[in-house]
Amino acid sequence: MTPSRYQRQIVLPGIGDQGQARLAAARVVIVGVGALGCASTEMLTRAGAGLAAAGGCLALLDRDVVELTNLQRQCLYTEADARAGLPKVEAAAARLAAINSEVAIRPLAADLTSANALRLLGCDQATGAKPSLIIDGTDNFATRFLLNDIAVKFQIPFCYAGVVAGAGTQATFIPGQTGCLRCLLPTPPDPSSLATCDTAGVLAPAVQIVAGAQVADAIKILTGNEARLSHSVLSFDLWTNRRTRIAIPRPDPACPCCGQRVFDFLNAPADDELARLCGQNSVQVAGHSALDLALLAQRLEPWGGVARSGVMLRFDPADLPTTRFTIFADGRAIVRGTTDPARARSLYARYIGA
């Protein structure tokens, strides 16, 4: 008899044929197929999560196309994908199918908003439909807070992860058992106070460590080994050699999300409405919070031309010669050089943060 391709995993304590079968039947949503999403999805695909024959699937959600500067760390993409400017979900789906043809990959090229999130994630209160697990591969807190609302409302394990420069953070929130993201961080941080990957860089090995810890938790949950979860937040910086783990608190009754069950981000007006065409070749993006323009100017300086005048900041990214940002202290920005609201939001998240 030919050994199962998953033999080296099946022999692990607590997995066995039964755990492997549960993994095969899992329906996992990976939100964002950038550096983290590529690494996580590749591991889940090789592990045999979401097999078509078992009724499982891996749904990939991303709004961006492959660019040359992605290749340093986004492990599913090639130069040909970047030259063709393929949507990330399409390039990823082709690569993953070549790795494991048994997996049901569902590419979703879309911009996740509060208006479409439940449909895209396959959550339906009437039928009780929901994914087995949400993998965070996003690069911004606005989307993470939206995902946290959905995870708590529908009782879905949420595997949070983030990487900037050499630093990584990873935690798995289990609704009902652990506190949620909002127990730790009541409101999204001011974007101008945060480094983004496009301005602070990303160390690819940090991505692999975070994704590894994230997928280890996912495999524990999906194979019935939840008791092996650490229920802690892992933080490290490979560049400064720091590493800590702190316990995730119990659900906080005062938490607006898991305590009070007020889902501010899921119930907020869709960001579609917050990004709209203005003028011939410009889109206005309404930010989520006020910005410190002096701080932002400092952060953007290495990445292109920056000009400050009173209430606004002009930024011309060096690597996108046809794009210009006009940024206001209330968080608003006009992105010139596109007519696509999703593209404008993506550029906003990339340089300003979200």
Binding site for Zn ion (CB under 5 A): 179-180, 182-183, 255, 257-258
Q: Are strands 57-62 and 105-109 parallel, antiparallel or unpaired?
A: parallel
E strands, 15-75, in order: 27-31, 57-62
- Which CB, 170 or 338, lies closer to Zn ion? 170
- Which CB, 245 or 261, lies closer to Zn ion? 261
**Measured torsion, CA atoms of residues 16, 17, 22, 25, in degrees rounded to the nearest 10:** 150
Question: Hey, what are 166's tokens?
Answer: 């050499």
**Angstrom distances, CA of residue 127 to CA of 54, 114, 120, 123:** 20, 20, 15, 9
- Which CB, 138 or 178, lies closer to Zn ion? 178
- Which CB, 73 or 182, lies closer to Zn ion? 182
Active-site residue identified among 57, 123, 180, 197: 197
Task: For the beta carbon of residue 193, count every other beta carbon within 10 angstroms.
Answer: 13
- Which CB, 101 or 267, lies closer to Zn ion? 267
In whole angstroms, give the CA distance from residue 186 to residue 259. 12
State whether residue 171 is helix, strand or coil.
strand
By the 8 A CB rule, do 212 and 189 touch?
A: no
State in angstroms the smallest separation of the CB of 320 from Zn ion: 38
Task: For the beta carbon of residue 80, count every other beta carbon within 10 angstroms.
Answer: 10
Question: Hey, what are 353's tokens?
Answer: 């943060």
Task: For the beta carbon of residue 254, count every other beta carbon within 10 angstroms.
Answer: 8
**How is the beta sheet containing 57-62 ordered, strand by strand?**
105-109, 57-62, 27-31, 133-136, 158-164, 167-173, 232-237, 242-247
State in angstroms the smallest separation of the CB of 252 from Zn ion: 5
State residue 330 phi and psi, 5-degree precision: -80, 0
- Which CB, 83 or 261, lies closer to Zn ion? 261
Q: Note if 183 is an active site residue.
A: no
25 Cβ contact list (under 8 Å, min separation 6): 51, 54, 55, 56
State which H helix or E strand residue 160 sits in: strand 158-164
- Which CB, 203 or 257, lies closer to Zn ion? 257
| Longest pairwise C-alpha distance within the chain | 74
Kindly report the length of the chain.
354
In whole angstroms, give the CA distance from residue 283 to residue 89. 24
For the annotated catalytic residues, the residue numbers are: 197
